[in-house]
Structure 1
Amino acid sequence: MNDDDPINEAEEALRARLKALQQEHADLDASIEALGHMPVPDQLMIARMKRKKLTLRDEIVKIEGRILPDIIA
């Protein structure tokens, strides 16, 4: 295979998207943690961030499934 293979390009794009989503997920996690330590935490903001984090987790799992499909033994 050569480097211009559309399958490799698609997988590389998926991996880049996965890395970006994982970073965003980690950033949200840190933000939620920091907000939780505030004297008066903004519970609405924390709830919104947790929902966004769950949405990101779902998308991460989907992309991981496309990159590494399950192999039934």
Structure 2
Amino acid sequence: MSDRYFRLLERHQKLDAALRIARDPFEAVRLAAMKQMVKARLSHLFLRRPEAVLATL
């Protein structure tokens, strides 16, 4: 697992935890948007990996 992938996974988990305890609805929307951005980056990183190409065949 690359360092970048690990950091993104860690950030995703922290955003998820912050989202669970968020009280302000605007803060929750902001955190959810940030979580979606991190999730998109993770999926792009995963799809570039050689194992992911083999899994789609």
TM-score by length of 1: 0.67
> Which of the pair is proportionally richer in helix?
2
Q: How many residues align?
A: 55
TM-score by length of 2: 0.84
Moved beyond 4 Å, runs of 4+? none
Residue ranges of structure 1 left out of the alignment (5+ in a row): 1-11, 36-40
Residue 17 of structure 1 aligns with an amino acid whose one-letter code is: R
2:53 is paired with a residue whose SS is: coil
Matches within 5 A, 1:1-73: 15-35=2-22, 41-67=23-49, 68-71=51-54, 72-73=56-57
Q: Percent same amino acid among aligned pairs? A: 18
RMSD across aligned positions (CA): 1.5
Q: Distance in 1 between matches of 2:45 and 2:17?
A: 23
Q: Distance in 2 between matches of 1:44 and 1:60?
A: 24
